[in-house]
Amino acid sequence: MNIKKIIYRTIENIFKSIKTKKKYNYKIHQNNKFSDYQINGIIEIIKKEKLHPKYIFKKIKNKFKKKKIFKKIKITPPGFINIFIKKKKIGKIIDKYVKIKNFGIKEKKKNIVIDYSSPNVAKEMHIGHLRSTILGDSIGNILEFLGHKVIRINHLGDWGTQFGMIIAWIKKYKKKKINNINTIENIYKKAQKKFLINTKFANLSRKYVVQLQKKKKKIIKIWKKIIKLTIKKNEKIYKILNIKLTKKNIIGESFYQKFLPSIVEDLVKKKIAYIKNKTVLVKTKNKNKQYILIIKKKDGGFLYSTTEIASIKYRYKKFKTNKIIYLVDTRQKLYLYQIFSIVKKAKYISKKTKLIHYDFGTILNKFGKPFKTREGKNIKLKKIIKKTILATKKIISFKKGNIYNEKKINKISYEIAISAIKYYDLSKNRIKNYIFDIKKMLSLKDNTGPYMQYAYTRIISVLKKNNTNIKESIKKNKLKISNQIEFNICKEITNLEEIIKLSSQGNPHIICHYLYKITSLFSKFYETNRIKNIKNKKIKNSKLKLISIIAKIIKICLSLLGIKVLNKM
């Protein structure tokens, strides 16, 4: 259903037919002012390749004339190519594709691992985990939609010296009741402080780390309990946020411990790593600068980095993966770069396997500073979710207080608040920081989750008033485009494939941008087309179909963002 693709192919074939196999850089823009599509950059290619302009343009003209979908092609000097398409034809194309599963959009299937969320044990999830969790889940959805096998992995931070401290504290102060994560988090905080100032306690902690490594039964039991409590809490958050991660997706850092000695040995043998003062190090280069990464400490301990290397080797083998995607914040950019180059050098993955780090910016408070509590701690996710739900509830109670009962208001507030948080995050350019602004998130005018929900419910209600629904009107009716706005909507609909494919490369905000465009077009359409009053049945049904397709697209796109639609607001 991708008209730009038809245009690209036509142009490509022309270049192929004259001589060259090169991939040229020219752009096709959808245009609503002077034509339907515009091709830019052809004249530059003609000049560069010393081709004959008249000859090429004539060829282009002829080729486009032959295709039934194009009505007219106008080339104005020095080389503006304007393409006009047939209104009737575009309706037919859409009629055909909306019947096919996912509008016929798919890619060649690949196995793709995606590493996201990955919080640490003994702590509740905080604001720093929000972006990785939401972005990762959405990118996973998009890739799945395109037909890939997506393996979602939660690289849980369930190993490390912190357990020594926590266990030392529990043992020393005979803490028996560790039934919730808050108790553990408090113990962790206190133990961390004591560890720094008290050598005796520090030694005790180290002793427990060793015991944990040696799999001492009693110690393992406490460790497992701490993990279990953390996971339970995280799962609650995932459920609230409608995130697809469950226990099954966890392959934590602890899992790889058994592989670490042989990995370090192998890297030394391959001369990728070297030993200095009993420490094992790896040198990597980036833009002529040299960086050093430790993979084994003097005392024999392994690190986060060693685990990382092992995890890639494991994932490649186990999942026959073509791609591993990381959603980890920008601060770990250099670190992951180092890891990727080590793994490639050691040939732990095939040459074709891609390792991709999608980094992202920070969430800021209203003063533009990193979001922290007064004590400088990270704000818990639970807390900001609650705050957003409360703010939503205030608005909804005010508007709907005498129509809906308390229970209904609670339910809607919750759904809208979650969609607002997720949509706001996903609508921002991934790389940039953004301010967590609840008021803006909840706006019913801008590119927000609630606005999309509202547009969707509006369509549902129009369909209902006309005694139909999305499924029925798509199935039964035919598109018969009767004005310019409908035509523009149709052109936008045919962009869906390109949008979804582009967004799958780590950019869900492209979907949000698209949604905003198409819902804005719908609003315009709605203002000028009173469907109920239309006498001509075919035209009326076509309009109902058109808005049904818009609703279907909203629903699909929101589901790719991990947001459920409401039927009523």
- In the complex, minimum distance from the CB of residue 283 to ligand ARG, in angstroms, rounded to a whole number: 21
Q: Which is nearer to ligand ARG, 223 or 525 (CB)?
A: 223
Q: Which is nearer to ligand ARG, 302 or 326 (CB)?
A: 326
Integer-rounded Cα radius of gyration of the chain: 28
- In the complex, minimum distance from the CB of residue 308 to ligand ARG, in angstroms, rounded to a whole number: 6
Please give the Cα distance from 175 to 226 (Å, whole number): 13
Q: Locate 207 and state its tokens.
A: 């002793």
**Burial class of residue 382 (count of CB atoms within 10 Å of its CB; 0-12, 13-18, 19+):** middle
- Judged by DSSP in three states, 363 sits in strand
* Amino acid at the residue 196: L
- In the complex, minimum distance from the CB of residue 330 to ligand ARG, in angstroms, rounded to a whole number: 12
- In the complex, minimum distance from the CB of residue 450 to ligand ARG, in angstroms, rounded to a whole number: 30
Q: Locate 449 and state its tokens.
A: 């989750």
Q: Where does this chain bind ligand ARG (CB under 6 A)?
A: 115, 118-120, 155, 157, 308, 326, 328
Q: Which of 561, 337, 569, 557 minimizes the C-alpha distance to 454?
A: 569
Q: Which is nearer to ligand ARG, 307 or 468 (CB)?
A: 307
C-beta separation of 293 from 305 below 8 A: yes
C-beta separation of 178 from 229 below 8 A: yes
- In the complex, minimum distance from the CB of residue 337 to ligand ARG, in angstroms, rounded to a whole number: 13
Q: Which is nearer to ligand ARG, 118 or 507 (CB)?
A: 118
- In the complex, minimum distance from the CB of residue 136 to ligand ARG, in angstroms, rounded to a whole number: 10
Q: Which is nearer to ligand ARG, 118 or 468 (CB)?
A: 118
**Burial class of residue 433 (count of CB atoms within 10 Å of its CB; 0-12, 13-18, 19+):** middle
User: Quick one: CA torsion of 424, 426, 428, 429, rounded to 10 degrees?
Assistant: 170
Output DSSP code: residue 564.
P
C-beta separation of 546 from 483 below 8 A: no
Please give the Cα distance from 337 to 352 (Å, whole number): 17
- In the complex, minimum distance from the CB of residue 118 to ligand ARG, in angstroms, rounded to a whole number: 4
C-beta separation of 141 from 555 below 8 A: no
Q: Which is nearer to ligand ARG, 123 or 148 (CB)?
A: 123
- In the complex, minimum distance from the CB of residue 130 to ligand ARG, in angstroms, rounded to a whole number: 12
Phi first, then psi: give them for residue 27, nearest 5 degrees: -120, 145
- In the complex, minimum distance from the CB of residue 257 to ligand ARG, in angstroms, rounded to a whole number: 15
Phi first, then psi: give them for residue 83, nearest 5 degrees: -115, 135
C-beta separation of 404 from 384 below 8 A: no
Q: Which is nearer to ligand ARG, 56 or 324 (CB)?
A: 324
Q: Which is nearer to ligand ARG, 120 or 495 (CB)?
A: 120
In the β-sheet with 273-276, what is the strand arrangement from edge to edge?
273-276, 279-286, 289-296
- In the complex, minimum distance from the CB of residue 391 to ligand ARG, in angstroms, rounded to a whole number: 28
How many residues are recorded in the chain? 569
- In the complex, minimum distance from the CB of residue 331 to ligand ARG, in angstroms, rounded to a whole number: 9
Q: Which is nearer to ligand ARG, 326 or 522 (CB)?
A: 326
Q: Which is nearer to ligand ARG, 204 or 227 (CB)?
A: 227
C-beta separation of 348 from 312 below 8 A: yes
Q: Which residues are 281's β-sheet partners? A: 274, 294
Q: CA-CA distances (angstroms) from residue 170 to 157, 164, 226, 254, 395? A: 20, 10, 11, 21, 46
Q: Which is nearer to ligand ARG, 115 or 415 (CB)?
A: 115
* Amino acid at the residue 288: N
